[in-house]
Amino acid sequence: MSEVDRERVMRAVSELIEAIGEDPARPGLLDTPRRVAEAYSEYFSGLGVDARTLLADTVPLDSSADVTGESGPGEIVLLRDIEFRSMCEHHLLPFLGVAHVAYLPGTRVVGLGALPRVVDTIASRPQLQERLTDEIADTLSSGLDARGVLVVLDAQHGCVSARGSRQSGSSTVTMASRGELSDPLRRAEVFALIGGLGGPSGDR
């Protein structure tokens, strides 16, 4: 895990304050460099962290017999409305939203608390929403050896709501699917369980 160089961030923020024509020694700004450095340590805490390690503590999936007496793998595991925040790498402005994460277990499952930790760790880096979606899906697919994975992110971007066109009410929806959940019919099952989505704009 890489550590944010707080002293260096503080110097850079002081220089930035001067560059915009302000006085870093003004009482209201005097402590701003330290506050920004502390915030950046949290925002970028996922740098250098392999999120797959958060999936190491799994338990075997006990196959149960269906009505025909045959055993089979587990059905869909879905965790909805995982709140996340990340930083857009283009403007270093935050984007905030929710993640819906589903997977089809192979031979093992993981505690549900691990899924938000995976999302948070991968989100805590300079990111693009499209890449973030893909990285979460790839981590769950390989880390759990899942038969299928579906990840949907719905987020509002500071670079869209606070600058340029200032579309404060808009959100961006992206999707990444792997394995059996790449099948449109299986994806439709998950969308029905998620509910409230008009359909993802990015299928990656």
Catalytic residue among 15, 42, 89, 167: 89
88 is catalytic: yes
Residue 75: CB atoms within 10 A of its CB come to 9
Tokens (6 digits) for 161: 């709501």
Catalytic residue among 100, 127, 135, 157: 157
Q: Which of 126, 169, 132, 133 is nearest to 152 (CA)?
A: 133
75 is catalytic: no
3 is catalytic: no
Helix and strand element counts for the chain (H, E): 6, 7
Say which amino acid occupies 68.
T
* Element of type H or E holding 95: strand 93-104
Catalytic residue among 100, 127, 129, 135: 129
Catalytic residue among 88, 100, 127, 135: 88
In the chain, helix, strand, coil percent, each to 5?
A: 35, 25, 35
* C-alpha span between 132 and 42 (Å, rounded): 17
Catalytic residue among 130, 156, 159, 180: 159
Catalytic residue among 91, 130, 156, 180: 91
100 is catalytic: no
Catalytic residue among 15, 22, 90, 167: 90
Active site amino acids: 88-91, 129, 157, 159
